[in-house]
Amino acid sequence: MIALSIAGFDPSGGAGILADIKTFNALDVYPTAVVTALTAQNVQRVGGIKPVDPDFVAQQIDLILEAEEINYAKTGMLYSPEIVKLVARKVKEYQLKLVVDPVMVAGSGGNLSQEDLVDSFKKHLLPRAVLTTPNLYEAQQLSKMDINSENDAYKVAKKLGEICPTVITGGHLNGRDIFYKDSLKIIEGEIFDSNNTHGSGCTYSAAATAFMEKGNPTEESVRKASYFTKKAIEHGRYGTLNQFWRFETH
Ligand code: PXL
């Protein structure tokens, strides 16, 4: 089992490609990764971003897929409309089943995208995705609707769900995630009083990708990813994803 992450590099280890690799690894899926941008950041702030030249992102994808047969990929920080468009082309070319985490800002609030990214996500990438995993903020940006209640979130999930299966993540809605694929499903969860949430969106989308690669249907993958991410938040940095997961029954 193998999966691909196409995402940015967060040197703090909490988010981006390193979070994806840790998650794939914890779930016994062999990780491969294509870098879209380097960032200088820690959990408090983003200091700088160096996007990778789109041609070089394309070359990284081509070389991985020349050597490996990969079914599932996920995207994280793509930064620019040019990179979004190129990734959409490659997804089509290699018939990748794609999970899109529509990353726009870092957990610390620092921006991780150019301004016109929302529209290109919607136009080029979501229509090709098997799942998208926006948090509350990203869901509002993508739908151009405000979410002030759980009912608003249902409407937004349904609207985005017309483009591709959608789960609104982040536990902001009383700990619940809102999933829409053909119909609406509420995924119950707990809320933790934790500051260990940097990169939790990356972990969630990587876990959903890994569970699908392991043969689970979309809804089941989302439910397991939700549980996995909550456990990762609960156990914190030194709980290590691998250890707690191996000792749980699931
Ligand atoms: O969690 C979103 C995210 C994605 N990708 C990179 C990040 C972050 C958040 O900090 O740094 C590279």
The answer to whether position 248 is within a domain reads no
CA of 48 to the centre of ligand 1 (A): 12
User: Tell me, what's the pLDDT at 171?
Assistant: 72
Residue 237 has pLDDT above 90, yes or no: no
From CA 29, how far away is CA 22, in angstroms rounded?
A: 10
CATH code for the domain in which residue 7 is found? 3.40.1190.20
pLDDT band at 82 (very low <50, low <70, confident <90, very high): very high
Residue carrying structure tokens 């690799």: 21
From CA 43, how far away is CA 242, in angstroms rounded?
A: 22
The answer to whether position 249 is within a domain reads no
Q: Which two tokens stand for residue 166?
A: 């959608």
Residue 101 has pLDDT above 70, yes or no: yes
81 lines ligand 1 (CB under 6 A): no
The answer to whether position 126 is within a domain reads yes
Full-model pTM: 0.94
pLDDT band at 243 (very low <50, low <70, confident <90, very high): low
Q: Which two tokens stand for residue 130?
A: 């098997």
The answer to whether position 90 is within a domain reads yes
pLDDT tens profile 24-49: 999 999 999 999 999 999 988 999 99
Beta strands in the chain (DSSP E): 2-9, 30-41, 46-51, 72-75, 97-100, 129-132, 166-173, 176-181, 183-187
The answer to whether position 250 is within a domain reads no
Strand 129-132 versus strand 97-100 pairing type: parallel
The answer to whether position 240 is within a domain reads no
Strand 2-9 versus strand 72-75 pairing type: parallel
Domain hosting residue 34, numbered range: 2-235
CB 48 within 8 A of CB 8: no
32 lines ligand 1 (CB under 6 A): no
The answer to whether position 152 is within a domain reads yes
16 lines ligand 1 (CB under 6 A): yes
Task: Pick the residue whose CA is nearest to atom 10 on ligand 1.
Answer: 106
Task: Pick the residue whose CA is nearest to atom 2 on ligand 1.
Answer: 106
pLDDT tens profile 130-184: 999 999 999 999 999 999 999 999 999 999 999 999 999 977 788 899 999 999 9
Task: Pick the residue whose CA is nearest to atom 9 on ligand 1.
Answer: 106
In the chain, how many domains are there?
Answer: 1
The answer to whether position 108 is within a domain reads yes
